[in-house]
Amino acid sequence: MRIATWNINSVRKREQRVRDFLERSDVDVLCLQETKCTNAQFPDFTDTGYEQAHNGGSSFNGVALLSRVGLDNVSTEFGQPGFSKDLSKEPAVEARAIGAECNGVTVWSLYVPNGREIADPHYTYKLRWLHALADYAAQGPEKLCLVGDFNIAPRDEDVWDRSYFNGKTHVTPRERACLDELEKAGLTAATDLIKDEYTYWDYQAMRFPKNEGIRIDLQYARGITAESARVDRDERKGKEPSDHAPVIVDYS
């Protein structure tokens, strides 16, 4: 079973890239993040032979699943908290998660909150969101695959310059401890098979040509075994690419 995750950074802007990727990649399930559209605006990919499910509410966030091996029991909540800058308002659950059963495996496409800055309430929200994900994983289905843009670099080696991130999010011990919670829940970091490759390069400062990237697009699995993993770096090239590259894992 081949599962890919890709922060597409606007699916409407890059619909043809998705179509081309599906045609040549031979993936069974494609998980998209940052689709940046409502459900009504999400493109129809069913002519490609893939079923689809999308969770989006605005021009921010948004996640989707495209599957050619079944798409059953679709869900958009695993117990995650909501977020609101206005403390007088009820926190809204953002469109950051969608899951379904695909060939007997429960697959979730996840767009973990960025965290912004360590002193920002969004950082606390990020940690709470990840704790809820670990709680779900601990009690969740036997065959489980959590994939997406985690906005965390698991190791210092997963950023091009650790000193650049001093005092910033994505590399803090508390964030990385949340990834450890997933492993304590019985999941394995399938994308740890990828060595010395990044998955995200900022558009600014010529980060991609200089290979100044970070590895934040991850896959965690239980009940299935990762045999190989790779980054489709070519998808970061060409005209108007996403700032992320697809990450593909083959499971047995």
Pick out the residues of the known binding site for Mg(2+). Answer: 7, 34, 149, 151, 243-244
Catalytic residue, from 28, 149, 158, 250: name it.
149
Q: Are strands 2-7 and 247-251 parallel, antiparallel or unpaired?
A: antiparallel
Are 97 and 109 a contacting pair, CB within 8 Å?
A: yes
Cα–Cα–Cα angle for 58, 27, 196, rounded to 5 degrees: 85
Closest CA relative to residue 110, chosen from 93, 97, 123, 122: 97
**Interhelix angle for 173-184 vs 121-139, to 10°?**
10
Q: Which residues are annotated as a binding site?
A: 7, 34, 149, 151, 243-244
Residue 92, φ and ψ in degrees, nearest 5: -95, 140
Please report, as a single letter, which amino acid is at residue 9: N
111 is catalytic: yes
The sign of the torsion formed by the CA atoms of 213, 117, 182, 176 equals positive
- Cα separation, 175 vs 59, in Å, equals 26
170 is catalytic: no
Q: Which residues pair with 188 in a beta bridge?
A: 221
Catalytic residue, from 111, 123, 198, 220: name it.
111
Catalytic residue, from 125, 158, 244, 251: name it.
244
244 is catalytic: yes
Q: Each residue of 9-30: b (16+ CB within 10 Å) or e? A: bebeebeebbeebbeebebbbb
- Catalytic positions are 111, 149, 244
